[in-house]
């Protein structure tokens, strides 16, 4: 499902025990946290840095989260998260995600998050050029 | 936005410091946790009990989460969560939510979660009658 | 174990499902979060407010956490947390805690946290008088 | 502070945004989660596997956590966690930890956790030989 016409960042990590719940599986909110780490990793792989983005006066506020759960994961597995730009606008963007079992490549969870660029005073602002150029590549 | 034609469970709680992030606001994943606590509270207010539901051999697996973020909240505020049954099917259901500032009644976040009733062996199963009767009232 | 010669703040809450782990019990880090909520509640019950404490330019940095785990808790239980001032110094304080099963009054976890008062610039500072007066009562 | 006379497992990771709080730093409970991931990594580096340990009928219950906080960390930093066996007994063990800034090698947090080996029925049990042999090396 990850698009083939643009950059897709990928990283692999171990499930943490704290991320499981009494059903014996990874809790559904853990994947929303993996999404966030997926977009941090996206920025790093593009040579950018969300910490610096903030230091320069911006925030990327979350305006929507959507996740679809296809299959459960357990402690002991490794997961791979793929993250890409679904849509780029002047003042915001949408990231797409898929999370796979690293061993089997089965897709376990898909989703997207929408973001608005704001200043530290809460005003909607244009995304920095460095971030906007990701859209074309 | 909470419906007026059916039961809406409501509870009020303090934001925990751990639920905030470096933007100085409540982290977006915290609201997905509040959703979960909202449906636990829904079951309790209907005289039911999700712990017992599990002990009787069922799980309510999460198949989708959607959240829209309208306004941020800070540590020190109290929040109110409203939770209701958006749709009831024989083998699953959808909960709707809204989270308000208790002080101002402003709606901060809305969302829904979809669930499928499964056995502890992972087979899709009918929801217990006790839970299905919630739909009509 | 809670002392009888000073103010002890108490509050009761439901375990959240997310706070459990694949052992089927409350994850050990959840209790450290309950400690934090216990001291937030302590401040509220003394007519004070940690949010305002921060707005006035202070932070209460954590310098040490210690927790002893006696008995596990499960989703479906209610817990009661007791929090008191173990030691008050001019530039810091120690909170003591015990967490009980609300139904049986059994003590499940005990612990303490040490804190240093710092300014937003990171300088060690005197605790505000409003907080220091807690020690004598 | 990490001992030089025994095996020390080390791994490096990025701070997740969710792990920060409204002070702008990594929340103190996040380090307790890093400790847990440090000991998961310890088992992996020794060719063992905590998931399998559980499947074979054991749990490693946490009986004590202690953490000392020396210096704060921020989102954008990488952290290194070192984990070793502080003490090995027939029915339990103590892990020691130190967490460093990867860039500067400054120690930010130190701590230990004590564990008891129990069966899934909650009986105290001997640690498997595979785990006990770690003590001598």
Average pLDDT over residues C117-121: 96
Q: What rounded mean pLDDT belongs to chain A? A: 96
- Residue pLDDT, tens place only, A45-74: 999 989 999 999 999 999 999 999 999 999
Q: Which domain holds residue D66?
A: 9-132
A2 located within any domain = no
D137 — pLDDT class (breaks 50, 70, 90)? low
Distance from CA of D16 to the nearest CA of A (A): 6
Query: Which chain A residues contact residue D50 at CB under 8 A?
Result: 17, 75-76
Nearest to C108 by CA among C84, C72, C83: C72
A134 located within any domain = no
**Residues 46-75, chain D, touching B (beta carbon < 8 A):** 74-75
- Residue pLDDT, tens place only, C64-92: 999 999 999 999 999 999 999 999 999 99
B3 located within any domain = no
Residue D122 per-residue DSSP state: S
C4 located within any domain = no
pTM for the full predicted model? 0.97
Number of domains, chain B: 1
Give percent helix, percent strand, percent coil of chain B, each to the nearest 5.
Answer: 25, 40, 35
Among A17, A19, A22, the strongest candidate for a mutation testing the C interface, having the largest count of C CBs within 10 A, is A22
C106 located within any domain = yes
pLDDT at C1: 80
B17 located within any domain = yes
CB of D118 within 8 Å of any CB in chain C?
no
- Residue pLDDT, tens place only, A26-51: 999 999 999 999 999 999 999 998 99
C102 — pLDDT class (breaks 50, 70, 90)? very high
> How far apart are alpha carbons A42 and A51 in whole angstroms?
13
B87 located within any domain = yes
- Which CATH number covers residue D92? 3.10.129.10
Average pLDDT over residues D40-69: 95
Is C61 in contact with D69 (Cβ distance < 8 A)? yes
C136 located within any domain = no
The crossing angle, in degrees rounded to 10, of helices A28-45 and B28-45 is: 170
- Is residue C134 over pLDDT 90? no
Is C40 in contact with B74 (Cβ distance < 8 A)? no
User: Computed from CA positions of residues D1, D4, D6, D8, in that sequence, does the dihedral angle turn out positive or negative?
Assistant: positive
């Amino acid at each position: 499902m990850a698009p083939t016409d643009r950059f897709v960042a990928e990283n692999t990590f171990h499930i943490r025990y704290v991320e499981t719940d009494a059903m014996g599986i990874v809790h559904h909110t853990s994947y929303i946290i993996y999404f966030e780490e997926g977009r941090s990793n996206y920025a790093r792989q593009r040579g950018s840095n969300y910490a610096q983005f903030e230091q320069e006066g911006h925030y990327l506020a979350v305006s929507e989260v959507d996740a679809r759960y296809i299959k459960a994961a357990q402690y002991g597995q490794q997961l791979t998260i793929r993250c890409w730009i679904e849509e780029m606008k002047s003042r915001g963007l949408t990231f797409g995600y898929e999370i796979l079992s690293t061993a089997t490549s089965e897709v376990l969870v898909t989703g997207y998050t929408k973001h608005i660029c704001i200043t530290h005073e809460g005003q909607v602002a244009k995304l920095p050029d460095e971030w906007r150029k990701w859209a074309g590549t």
